[in-house]
Chain A
Amino acid sequence: MAPSALALVRFHLRVGARLALIVFAPVVAFACGAAGFFELPFLRHLAATLFTGGSSGLLVALLALGVAGMAAPRVCRGLDGWVRHLPASGVAHRRAATLAVAVAQLPLLLGLVGLAGLAVHGAGGFLFAGLGLVATALAAAVATVPARRSLPTRILALAAAALAAIGHGLPLAAGVGLLLAADAVAGPVGHGTGARHPLRRQAAAPLERSPRGARLFAARIAWRALGWKLPEAYVAGLLPIGAAALFVANNELPPRHVLLAALLGGGVGLTLFLAEVGEALATRRPAWPWSRSLPQSALQRVTTDAAFLAVHALPIVAVAALLTPRALLPLAGAFPCLAALSSGALRRAPERRTGAAGEILLQGGLSAALLALLPWLALAFLVLTLPVLRAAAARDRRQKVSRWLEIHHLAIGDPQSWSAS
């Protein structure tokens, strides 16, 4: 191996190991802890599904691809920038990054090896399963690291991952062959998505004078910041309502309990939606110091955010009301206040390790429980909306937008940060 390639490999191995420790180890530790609650037969069944079932290779490959997909943007951050001027070839850069992404999957691999031990019999079978997992991780890494010839590389690497994950005989050999072919086809490291198109990220139109224009401008910025987080937030918000709908459909309930289920499901759904959107806004659209010099009050800023959140939360309220129309009024009364609370939470997010989501979940969860038990409280929520907005505006004014909060820098304004994605 050339000295430059070796140096890159050593460097990227550290990056991959750090990523594995920071991002994935706690997740896998949590999964192991959760697994501790289950009986051994459950784990055996899970292992059999993953390693001996008909679609076993596909499931393991999908898991590896999911983790590699999360790790690759972080490992490859800046790979098409300054580091390219160093004396190393583009192929060496790509291979080293691929190795780092594979290393970042180690916690998942260890978990899968443990499960393989339950499902596969004999040392030979276990060894092949282990080799298959390593090849799958490498193939998933090849598929996710940007390469000059990305399309054929991805096709070959995806096929390699699915075949290698089967972990025995001919499919494993074919998987390794396809992996080598994918590496040969890939060429040097490519550009990350959109990396070569700074014009796409040009600043939007300047802030217009009218408050309506300012609101539309803020909404445009928020939509851009949210991107695919918005549909994800709707999915999160609709889950509790779906659970409530299943509960109502499968039980003989008096109307009072149907209302309770609808209010609880709707309230929790609203809370989850607001938490998801609020957290994404806090991390991807941090406070903009310069904009505070413009002729717009803090109350206008927080009201704009609250209105944005409330308008987008309307579908959640509407869907919850489908369970029973009687849920519409209490939810409609409460959700402006929840949106205002969330707007305020955005202003404290940089100072808190729990970000905006922690505060929204706490306040929203309590509010949803209270609303379900005492629907008439919706009136109190409605009355409280204005004081809550004023409190949020006071928070907005107190924000130290230019202060260097080192410990939170990883999340705030850094879309590549693990805690920001």
Chain B
Amino acid sequence: MIRLSGIGFSYGRGEPVLAEAEANLGPGLTLLVGPNGCGKSTLLKIAAGVELPDRGRVEIDGHDLWTNEVAARRSLAYVPEQPDLTPYATVREILGLVCRLRGEPRQAGEAALEKVGLAALAHRSVRELSMGQRRRAVLAAAFVGRPDHVLLDEPLEAMDRGARDDVLAWIDRLIAAGATVVTVSHDLEPFAPRAARILTVRDGKCRLFDPLPEDPVERRELLERLARGEDALPTRRSAAPGR
């Protein structure tokens, strides 16, 4: 369970990106949608412990992300949209670090690299990788171990067909294993049938839609509207905003 309580955050002195944002995200896929700049990626960074909120707290399975940092992050995997890896480490070293921190054997890192097709480039430093290869490297890092809380920022972007299928199959396995998966995506098609709930950010507040309509057409309609930043239609079946 990822619990965000009273989150406030701004990048400067201007308009806050998030103000008193609240959300409880349980097992299953939470699709985080909304127009550009509404605060989706910021919310994900805050949930991943990358950005410290100005106000409020984030808990992962009851562990505060900033006072109990190690325990809270133990089951966390985050795939950012821009893979910001240190340029002076090799891919193998980064995966080795992830394995040690998650208590996994080194072979788990090698297997993850094999899975994303980077095994042959494992000796290269990050600055020698293309952006797509860097994305694969962070994806490989997310494959290591059994993370229960997975945060994905546009996971299918810049992926070829095969890689997309692999990522979606991995997400399916995570959902089946009862993991909490939160993904930001403008590509709604692959995630619409998998989503257990929709989270959107509007005026700095989180709006959670749970449960979602069973009817695929209604579900799709709701997703499209929320992704455009519009209000949810009053549907025949309830798709009531949660907390």
Interface residues of A (CB under 8 A from B): 2-4, 6-8, 10-11, 14-15, 18-19, 22, 74-75, 77-90, 188, 196-200, 404, 406, 409-410, 414, 416-417
Contacts and interface: CB of A to CB of B under 8 A. Distances in A.
Interface of B: 11-12, 14, 48-51, 69-74, 76-78, 80, 83-89, 93-94, 96-98, 100-103, 125, 127-128, 130, 138, 151
B70 A4 contact: yes
Interface residues of A, dominant DSSP: helix
Contacts of B101: 4, 7-8, 86-88
Given A15-B86, A198-B11, A199-B14, A82 B138 contact: yes
B69 A77 contact: no
B173 to A, nearest CB: 20
A404 B151 CA distance: 30
Contacts of A89: 69-70
A89 B52 CA distance: 13
Contacts of A88: 69-70, 73, 101
Given A2-B70, A11-B93, A410-B128, A417 B14 contact: no
A82 B94 CA distance: 11
Contact of A83 (B86, B96, B127): B86
B78 A85 contact: yes
Max chain B Cβ within 10 angstroms of own Cβ: one of A79, A85, A404, A410 = A85
Contacts of B84: 77-78, 81-82
23 contacts: A4-B101, A11-B93, A14-B93, A19-B88, A22-B88, A74-B88, A75-B88, A79-B86, A82-B50, A82-B85, A83-B85, A84-B48, A85-B50, A86-B102, A87-B73, A87-B74, A87-B102, A88-B101, A196-B51, A197-B11, A406-B128, A409-B130, A410-B87
A2 B71 CA distance: 12
B69 A74 contact: no
Given A198-B11, A417-B87, 15 more contacts: A3-B100, A15-B86, A15-B93, A18-B89, A22-B88, A75-B86, A75-B88, A77-B87, A82-B80, A82-B83, A85-B48, A85-B73, A86-B101, A197-B12, A404-B130
A88 B97 CA distance: 11
Contacts of A82: 50, 78, 80, 83-85, 138
Max chain A Cβ within 10 angstroms of own Cβ: one of B72, B86, B127 = B86
Contacts of B48: 84-85
A11 B88 contact: no
A85 B77 contact: yes
Contact of B70 (A18, A87, A198, A410): A87
A87 B12 CA distance: 28
Nearest to B17: A199
Interface residues of B, dominant DSSP: mixed
A18 B69 contact: no
A4 B69 CA distance: 11
When A and B form their complex, which 6 residue pairs have the shortest distance between CB atoms, in order from nearest? A81-B84, A7-B100, A78-B84, A85-B78, A87-B73, A85-B48
Contacts of A81: 50, 80, 84
Contacts of A83: 85-86
A3 B102 CA distance: 10
B76 A90 contact: no
Contacts of A87: 69-74, 76, 101-102
A66 B87 CA distance: 21
Contacts of A198: 11
Contacts of A414: 87, 127
A318 B12 CA distance: 42
B50 A84 contact: yes
A15 B100 contact: no
Contacts of B103: 3
Contact of A196 (B11, B85, B89, B127): B11
A393 B89 CA distance: 39
Contacts of B97: 7-8, 11, 86
A192 B87 CA distance: 15
B85 A78 contact: yes
Nearest to A80: B50
Given A197-B11, A404-B130, A417-B127, A74 B87 contact: yes
A75 to B, nearest CB: 7
Max chain A Cβ within 10 angstroms of own Cβ: one of B72, B77, B78 = B78
A78 B141 CA distance: 15
Contacts of A14: 89, 93
Contacts of A11: 89, 93-94, 96-97
A416 B127 CA distance: 10
B12 A86 contact: no
Max chain A Cβ within 10 angstroms of own Cβ: one of B49, B89, B96 = B89
A393 B16 CA distance: 46
Nearest to A148: B52
A404 B88 CA distance: 20
Nearest to B99: A7
Max chain A Cβ within 10 angstroms of own Cβ: one of B49, B78, B100 = B100
Nearest to A8: B97
Contacts of A197: 11-12
Contacts of A85: 48-50, 73, 76-78, 151
B67 to A, nearest CB: 10
Nearest to A410: B127
A255 B12 CA distance: 60
A15 B93 CA distance: 9
B70 to A, nearest CB: 5
A83 B138 CA distance: 10
A79 B87 CA distance: 11
Max chain B Cβ within 10 angstroms of own Cβ: one of A75, A78, A406 = A78
A252 B140 CA distance: 72
A77 B86 contact: yes
